[in-house]
A and B are shown apart, each in its own frame.
Chain A
């Protein structure tokens, strides 16, 4: 059995003790950090998403008011607003501004239709080097494709149910 007689043993033990104490404190700190940091950033992310999403929708509503006061019907005005917002989303993505908007706004920038346009342009631009057909042509729909698929499938199922009931 190893005894604890020599001064080397004491210093070794002291080192081990210091080391595990340090480790314990680090773990404790990390636990505290884990508790606090995500909560704070979840709150900030949510606030940013709310403000950015609200801002984009308010801009769209301002366009809608302007267009419907020019004598268009609600349906027409909605269509024109959607087209303009898609153009803005695509253009701002092209010139590199929408990236910064998305960094701040998170879901607030992705969920509006401008974000849908962004999800078309960003991968298409990135994979342009793979060619105009399988680079741009295919990658445009890496996110927009699933969105169209699930939107159209759901609407047709709803339609079939409504048709049989009616």
Chain B
């Protein structure tokens, strides 16, 4: 396949996997009898993503779905666990504490700085 075709197919897979992951979250919110906030869903996704990653179940999803698996918050849990596991090899026990945040430092820093700037600049509507 040419690069263009590969790219097109990757868009479709990202759409399908990403959509399916989000659909599951919506069903959890709608079908659970008691009140579930988006905060609960986000925490659940990070934790489940981390556990699935530890069991080796999340990487195949990333291989197929690309951004469809890394962009949902379960991908953040996956990134944390993979960061920890890969830095254990080089740094041992220190890697357990450093690897996760180090691997996701840019995302965390971006969330803090962009979040701060936007909150300072803008006011809520209405």
Contact = CB atoms under 8 A, between A and B. Distances in A.
Interface of A: 38, 41-42, 45-46, 48-58, 60-65, 69, 78-79, 81-83, 85-87, 90-91, 93-96, 99, 105-108, 110-117, 119-122, 124-126, 128, 132, 136, 140, 142-144, 146-148, 150-152, 154-156, 158-163, 166
Interface residues of B, number: 79
Contacts of B118: 90-91, 93-94, 121, 125
Contact of A147 (B26, B31, B73, B119): B73
Classify the interface of chain B: helix, strand, loop or mixed: helix
A56 B18 contact: yes
A99 B38 CA distance: 13
B22 A120 contact: no
B90 interface: no
A107 B67 contact: no
Given A60-B71, A140-B119, A50 B96 contact: no
A42 B33 CA distance: 13
B114 A86 contact: yes
Contact of B73 (A90, A108, A112, A136): A112
Given A50-B19, A116-B111, A111 B72 contact: yes
Contacts of B11: 58, 61-62, 65
Contacts of B66: 61, 64
A57 B66 CA distance: 9
Interface in B86-103: 88, 92-93, 95-97, 99-101
A61 B69 CA distance: 10
B115 A117 contact: yes
Contacts of B57: none
Contacts of A113: 71-73, 75-76, 107
B111 A144 contact: yes
Given A49-B26, A108-B23, A110-B42, A60 B85 contact: no
B43 A54 contact: no
Contact of B42 (A64, A83, A115, A125): A115
B120 interface: yes
Given A111-B42, A115-B42, 18 more contacts: A49-B19, A50-B22, A53-B25, A54-B19, A55-B19, A57-B18, A93-B118, A113-B73, A113-B76, A116-B73, A120-B115, A121-B115, A124-B119, A143-B42, A158-B51, A158-B85, A159-B85, A159-B100
Most central of A41, A81, A151, A159 by chain B CB within 10 Å: A151
B107 A86 contact: yes
Contact of A126 (B53, B88, B96, B124): B124
19 contacts: A50-B26, A57-B19, A58-B12, A60-B18, A61-B11, A61-B67, A61-B68, A90-B115, A93-B122, A94-B118, A106-B26, A107-B22, A111-B25, A112-B22, A125-B122, A132-B120, A136-B120, A154-B80, A158-B51
